[in-house]
Homo-oligomer: A and B are copies of this chain.
């Protein structure tokens, strides 16, 4: 069950991030299509908590700098090593495509670092974007780091949803993909979740964290380049001292 007002807090935060300047109650209500009275209650709660304030008298509300100080504290405690950021940056520069670091998150994989391509047509992802674990190369690069037992636990909860014609729709198909990736030496995807989107991914174990690195871009530019992109990723990983592993799909 979704907690509506928790989602509303997030929507309000993103509303302000997109807007970039204060908004009155009426502007918030109109912008998010919320009833005035609901907006009034939510804003009042966040004001009383110290997370919204009125920068100018009757000039509307804006998130207080407290968000920033809390977020910095959180980020300091959950550090992604600079070497990993640099790896993504290097690979992003060399391939010219959007490059991201993925981490498992429930049924999905979440990007915890993103280096966007500058091409006019590119894969637009941001930190926090999630994609299905089983229907993406970044996801399968994480699945391949799990034991068969762990994967089976995951499959038990998985409900297959058809995002496109190429979305894998069975456990057998996913396991096949993992075996093929092992032979090939890298994970790949072709419009399984987002139409026209092609990806190449490698597992990126980091201590006990299971991460993956993925390069993704439009079909037109990337489909044929997949082997070359994989070569670029693997070369950069070796240069920077990351282990190259594609554990057997049947490993226990």
Contact = CB atoms under 8 A, between A and B. Distances in A.
Contacts of A173: none
A208 interface: yes
Contacts of A51: 10, 128
A127 B64 contact: yes
Contact of A6 (B45, B55, B69, B72): B45
Interface string A126-152: 111110000000000000001000100
A62 interface: yes
A210 B57 contact: yes
A53 B41 CA distance: 28
A187 interface: no
Contact of A62 (B8, B78, B127): B78
B112 A65 contact: yes
A6 B46 contact: yes
A68 B57 contact: no
A49 to B, nearest CB: 5
A251 interface: no
17 contacts: A2-B48, A3-B5, A3-B41, A3-B42, A3-B44, A6-B45, A10-B49, A10-B51, A20-B77, A50-B110, A50-B128, A50-B129, A57-B150, A65-B113, A66-B127, A68-B127, A71-B72
Interface of A: 1-10, 13-14, 16-17, 20-21, 41-42, 44-57, 59, 62-75, 77-78, 80, 103-106, 110, 112-113, 126-130, 146, 150, 208-210
